[in-house]
Structure formats: C-alpha cells, structure tokens
Amino acid sequence: MMSTTTNKPDDKKLTPRSEDFSAWYNELVLRAQLADYSPVRGCIVFRPEGFAIWENIVAELDRRIKRTGARNAYFPLFIPQSFIRKEASHVEGFSPELAVVTHGGGKELEEPLIVRPTSETIINHMFAQWIKSYRDLPLMVNQWCNVVRWEMRTRMFLRTTEFLWQEGHTAHATREEAEAETLAMLEVYRAFCEEFLAIPLIVGRKSAAERFAGAVETYAIESLMRDGRALQCGTSHFLGQNFARAFEIRYLDENNQLQYVWQTSWGVSTRLLGALIMVHGDDQGLRLPPTVAPVQVVIVPIWRKPAERDDVLGSARAALAALTQAGVRCKLDDREGITPGFKFNEWEMRGVPLRIEIGPRDVAASEATLARRDAPGPTSKLKGALSRLPETVSALLDAMQAGLYREAKGAMDAATVEAPDFESLCRQMAGEGGGGLANVYWCGSAACETKIREQTKATCRAIPLAQTVAPRPCVVCGQTANERAFFAKAY
C-alpha cells in the first residue's frame, strides 16, 4: 500500500467530518503523523507523534494498575497450540483469528506455536506451577505487550492484526474476591478514560453474545464516537473457574483442602488512540486533552525585521524555560523559513492544546498571545503577562481538560435516545447521525438481541450495573424486561 504522508506543507484541508467521517479519520492519522500503513497487510507503523501519546497512556495507566496491587511480568510471544485447545470456548472464540508458526530454524516444528492473541493460556499454565497454597493468593500480574489477531477488515488503531495492549491476570481464593477485582479494574479503566483522556463512557455488563471467549461475565467501558457509532474502550472479565479447571490451578486452603482458584483478566489497547481521535478531533485535526498530550504548549516566535529577531527569540526562550521549569511539556518552534500561519496549522493538526505567539509588540508590552486549540480563531485569543505565564498556562490547560470532557459528554448525551418500541429503534439506527446510543428495555433473550442486530446492525454495548427501573415490555418481543441496555452500531 502506498503511503500518502508527506513532510511538505499541507495545502489541502482534511475532508470535513460531516462529509465522510471515515476519510476524515484516515487523513488525520496520516497528516498528524500518528501512524502509517505498513508493508504487512493489516499492520500499522506507530510514528513518534502517535507513539508518544501511547507512552503517556502507558505511564499513567501503569501507575494506576500498580496501585491496585498488580505487578508487571512478561510471558512469551509463542504459545504451544495444545494450550489454546484446553479451554473449549476459548479455542472456539479465537480459532479463526490465530496466526500459527509451523516452522522454526528451517525445520517443521513438532508442535505448532500460536502467536498470542491473548495470554490466558500460557499465564495460567505458569499460575498452576506457582500457586500451591492460600498464602500464594491473590496472585495479580499485568503484562504490556503486543498480540496478534488475524483480522480481515482492518482500520488504523481500531482493528489491526498486531496491536499493543496491557493484559492483567489475577487468581483469587474466593468467587467474591475475583468478582470484586473484576469490578475494581472496570472502575480503574472508567476513571482513567474519563479523567485522563476526557472520554465520557457508558459502563456495564456485556450480553452473552458479546462476552469474551472463556469468561463467565464480561464488563466493558464503551464510548460514543462523533459519527454516532460506539467503540469498546476496555474490558474486564470474570473468568470463574473455567481456566482454573482447564489448567489445574489449585491451592490448599486453610483446612488443607484442594480448591480451584477464581480468576479475572482485563485489558485496554492502542484502540484508545482511535477513541481519542474520534471523540475529540475536529476538521482542523487532532485535539488532545492536555494530560495525554506529548506537547502541551508550543511557542511560536513571530518577527518580520531582523532587528526584532533577538528580542522576540529571547522572550520566547525565557517563556520556554519558565514553562518547562513549571513542569509544562513545552516546545519552541523556532524553525526559520516557514510562515507562522503554516506552523499554526501544523500544530493544530497535531492537536497541541495551547499555542503561545510572541511578536515584537508582545515583547514591548511584556506579554504573550495565547491561542486555545479547543477555541480556534483570532477572536478567542488571549493576552497573558510573560511574568505570569506558568500560572496562566496551567489554569488554561485545566480548563481545556474539563472543557473537552464536557463537550464530548454533551455530544454523547445528545446522541443518546430512549427507544420505546422496535419501530423507533429501527428508525433511530437508520437515521442520520449514525444511530447513536439507544437505551432500550430488553428481555435479555438471544433471539431478541439477534433480531435487533439483523434489522438495525446495532449490538448490545452495555447493560448498566445499577438499575432501578420498573419492569416494562421488551422492545422486541413484548415480554417482561427487568433491565435496560444500550444498543448501538459499533466499531
């Protein structure tokens, strides 16, 4: 596949989101230099701009995961084929997506190796050897790694054959403890996405059809993209004793009785980059929440006459030093031979939250001009005293973080509709705006879920955890429904 990225000035605007959301997305990923197509079909190359965002996600989420007591470990990329076959629904779920290594060192292998699609099997094989007594529990490990799932239809960050993620795996003495851990990690993911990525979510349980292969219960955080389609951003699974029985993970309890452990697994992936783009991006490019932005502030010095150059650059460098000293991730764009307008467009495309312009008149007045990425245009520019830049910038970044969340939440709420009957559900999913989130009464039966999927392409995204609703007729079959669920067309 040919790459369409270029380092030349961009003379072309992005396709507007309203015109073709999918074209907008692909153009943005390439033009903001987040990723590029790779020579291997279905795989992508993370460019430094994109990888720096992922590194910030990893750093913050890793801190939050470790706070729960889990520790990082690393397990092999290759898994013996027989391992995948040990848990029946696991093998059934993953078989079509497996990449299999049959040869190594020029010879056919005695047993083919699977390139990990997820690591439950190999980790549980090791857990069986490490867990002997109740004193070894709980055992909580997390792994940051790549996984491979052979995808037929791929899209950058959202669905790629190889992707990066973290997968947590835990073993507990009791069912209650494992269930509590599953929900605790769901809450870690919710707080991380809403606080750090400014992405509003719906949170809940998955239907049986959407459950992880081998899980007793799957919980997920889901967000709504600006084209009205939902994106699963993270999952936390209660595995019960399914893998414990398949891999013989038993421990001696306090009464010297052998017991199977209870388990969980949970993960988020580089999909989150796709969510950031599709929730916050606009027609000018990416918009990054300050917390996750590799560059939070770019300083652009502006001068015309050579005589102005030294003063302007001097002030710009002083501003850079003061902001860096205050802990702001700041960059000085002092490239020459490039117009300020071009620089503005480039940093807007890359989603840098705040731009500081310093020209001769600003220097004379001991101030700077500040332009917010979330409020583009000359009228929204502000003036700030150079002596107080760190305080001013810090307050603006906080306001932008909250503002991006508020804006995205408003968009999600506006696209969330209660569909009282099947006809209105069909109408909503077929309508403009991509369908959005439909909040419906559903009896829980697979037949009704299938009918919804076949007629509207919407799937059950989440069944909210705490429900205080009176029973009503199911939107499909009319029988009693005790719960509401969110349906949407999904990525």
Name the residues that contact Zn ion, by CB under 5 A: 443, 445, 448, 474, 476-477
H or E element: which one contains 414?
helix 389-414
Q: Are 332 and 299 in contact (CB under 8 A)?
A: yes
**Min separation Cβ 477 and Zn ion, Å:** 3
**Min separation Cβ 466 and Zn ion, Å:** 22
**Min separation Cβ 475 and Zn ion, Å:** 7
H or E element: which one contains 403?
helix 389-414
Give the count of beta carbons closer than 10 Å to the beta carbon of residue 323: 23
- Closest CB to Zn ion among residues 370, 448: 448
- Closest CB to Zn ion among residues 217, 449: 449
- Closest CB to Zn ion among residues 65, 476: 476
- CA atoms of 413 and 202, how far apart (whole Å): 11
**Min separation Cβ 476 and Zn ion, Å:** 4
- CA atoms of 11 and 13, how far apart (whole Å): 7
**Min separation Cβ 479 and Zn ion, Å:** 5
Cis preceding linkage at 390, omega within 30: no
**Min separation Cβ 209 and Zn ion, Å:** 14
- Closest CB to Zn ion among residues 340, 420: 420
- Closest CB to Zn ion among residues 278, 474: 474
- Closest CB to Zn ion among residues 158, 474: 474
Pick the closest to residue 45 from 30, 64, 28, 66 (CA basis): 30
H or E element: which one contains 81?
helix 81-84
**Min separation Cβ 233 and Zn ion, Å:** 28
- Closest CB to Zn ion among residues 192, 442: 442
**Min separation Cβ 486 and Zn ion, Å:** 16
**Min separation Cβ 454 and Zn ion, Å:** 14
- Closest CB to Zn ion among residues 357, 449: 449
| 3-state SS, residue 476 | coil
**Min separation Cβ 426 and Zn ion, Å:** 15
- CA atoms of 168 and 180, how far apart (whole Å): 14
- CA atoms of 209 and 207, how far apart (whole Å): 5
User: b/e for 41-63, b at 16 or more Cβ within 10 A?
Assistant: ebebebbebbbbbbebbeebbee
- Closest CB to Zn ion among residues 133, 479: 479
Three-state DSSP string of 29-49: HHHCCCEEECCCCCCEEECHH
- Closest CB to Zn ion among residues 184, 477: 477
- Closest CB to Zn ion among residues 268, 443: 443
Between 175-191 and 48-67, two packed helices, what is the crossing angle to 10 degrees?
140
**Min separation Cβ 229 and Zn ion, Å:** 24
Between 446-456 and 422-430, two packed helices, what is the crossing angle to 10 degrees?
40
**Min separation Cβ 443 and Zn ion, Å:** 3
Q: Which long-range contacts (CB under 8 A, 24 or more apart) does 224-227 make?
A: 224/200, 224/279, 224/411, 224/412, 224/415, 224/416, 224/436, 224/437, 224/488, 225/275, 225/278, 225/279, 225/491, 226/17, 226/21, 226/278, 226/279, 226/281, 226/411, 227/17, 227/21, 227/22, 227/278, 227/434
152 exposed, middle or buried (CB, 10 Å; 0-12, 13-18, 19+)? exposed
- Closest CB to Zn ion among residues 339, 480: 480
**Min separation Cβ 448 and Zn ion, Å:** 3
Q: Is 157 left (phi over 0), alpha (psi -120 to 50) or beta?
A: left
395 exposed, middle or buried (CB, 10 Å; 0-12, 13-18, 19+)? exposed
Paired sense of beta strands 437-442 and 416-418, if any? parallel
- What are the structure tokens assigned to 110, written together? 């005695």
- Closest CB to Zn ion among residues 28, 452: 452
